[in-house]
Amino acid sequence: MDPENDGVSIWVGGKVSNARSGPAFSRLAIPYIPNEPPRWSTVTAAVNNLVEVWAANAKSGERMGEWINRIGWERFFKLTNLPFTDKHIDDFTHATTTFRSTTQSKF
């Protein structure tokens, strides 16, 4: 572990199961938080913020990814008070053709 050079990124909205909708990839919410062992106070505060905003704004039983899809990423960043940076731009053009996006795959 290298607290000076390591960091943490927070990803949200992904899921593996086929419940209600197909699997989904996680998306980057916070690109970098400094590594602060042993209590990781900044990471804890960031996760608490995300969960509290989601809990206050989501419908009953709505997963975080479903909530984000319903309100849109722009509103997600506004509600969570997170800055949108160039690290959030998803420009990998071949993702839909090279990754399996469902468990309903034939091998």
3-state secondary structure of 6: coil
Cα–Cα distance between 20 and 54 in angstroms, integer?
A: 19
Structure pTM? 0.77
Token match 């919410």: residue?
A: 29
pLDDT of residue 91: 61
Model confidence at 107, in pLDDT bands (50, 70, 90)?
very low
Per residue in 88-101, pLDDT (tens digit) is 776 666 555 545 45
Q: At 10, give phi and psi (nearest 5°).
A: -110, 125
What is the reported pLDDT for 105? Answer: 45
DSSP 3-state percent helix, strand, coil across the chain (nearest 5): 35, 15, 50
Q: Which one of 10-14, 45-49, 65-69 scores highest in mean pLDDT?
A: 45-49
* Band of residue 23 on the pLDDT scale cut at 50, 70, 90: confident
The closest of 15, 14, 22 to 104, measured between CA atoms, is 22
Lowest mean pLDDT among 5-19, 21-35, 38-52, 78-92: 78-92
Give the start-end residues of each E strand in 13-101.
27-34
* Domains of the chain as residue ranges with CATH: 7-91 (3.30.413.10)
More confident call, 106 vs 107: 106
Question: One-letter amino acid identity for 80?
Answer: T
Angstrom distance (rounded) from CA 55 to CA 58: 6
